[in-house]
């Protein structure tokens, strides 16, 4: 059985990214190179990566799709996102409901969507409501 090992979150300021995700996730993480700061999310690494800080010539571009992170306290995570300067997503759709607030989605998950300061879309999901497609 494969195991998801690492998810890369492209950023343009590794120190600011480490501070943002430390506030939001409630854990310090670890700097593993000048341009990489890793957060252990129960065995999968959320890796903030600033290519310029690692002396790479490529440019950090935000992920095109959401990263989904399960949390125990959705309301506290929303407050942490607000304190850290996340942009609350506001593009409501009939299929998913309001995106800038905690909401129970039609498929049963309770979640909210943000955009981190580097343009990466992130969804935080209440751990007790995770839907994996198994019924």
Q: What is the pLDDT of residue 131?
A: 85
Determine contact, residues 67/9, Cβ cutoff 8 Å: yes
User: How does residue 93 score in pLDDT terms, banded at 50, 70 and 90?
Assistant: low
Would you say residue 43 has pLDDT above 70? yes
- The helix (H) or strand (E) run that includes residue 24 is helix 14-25
Q: Rounded CA gap, 128 and 110, in Å?
A: 9
Q: How many CB atoms lie within 10 A of CB 128?
A: 10
- pTM recorded for the entire structure: 0.90
pLDDT in tens, 10-29: 999 999 999 999 999 999 99
User: How does residue 100 score in pLDDT terms, banded at 50, 70 and 90?
Assistant: confident
106 vs 23: which has the higher pLDDT: 23
Extended beta strands in the chain, E state: 6-10, 30-33, 36-41, 44-49, 67-71, 87-88, 103-104, 110-115, 121-126
Please state, rounded to an integer, the average pLDDT across all residues of the chain.
Answer: 91
Q: Rounded CA gap, 72 and 36, in Å?
A: 26
Q: What is the pLDDT of residue 91?
A: 64
Structural domains for the chain: 6-129 (3.10.180.10)
């Amino acid at each position: 059985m494969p195991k998801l090992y690492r998810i890369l979150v492209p950023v343009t300021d590794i120190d600011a990214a480490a501070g943002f995700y430390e506030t939001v996730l409630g854990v310090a993480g670890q700097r593993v190179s000048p341009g990489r700061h890793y957060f252990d999310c129960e065995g999968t690494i959320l890796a903030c990566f600033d290519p310029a800080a690692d002396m790479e010539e490529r440019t950090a571009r935000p992920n095109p799709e959401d990263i989904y992170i399960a949390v125990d306290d959705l309301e506290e995570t929303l407050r942490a996102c607000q304190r850290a300067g996340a942009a609350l997503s506001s593009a409501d759709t009939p299929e998913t409901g309001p995106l800038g607030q905690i909401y129970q989605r039609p498929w049963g998950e309770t979640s909210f969507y943000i955009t981190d300061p580097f343009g990466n879309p992130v969804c935080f999901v209440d751990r007790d409501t995770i839907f994996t497609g198994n019924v």
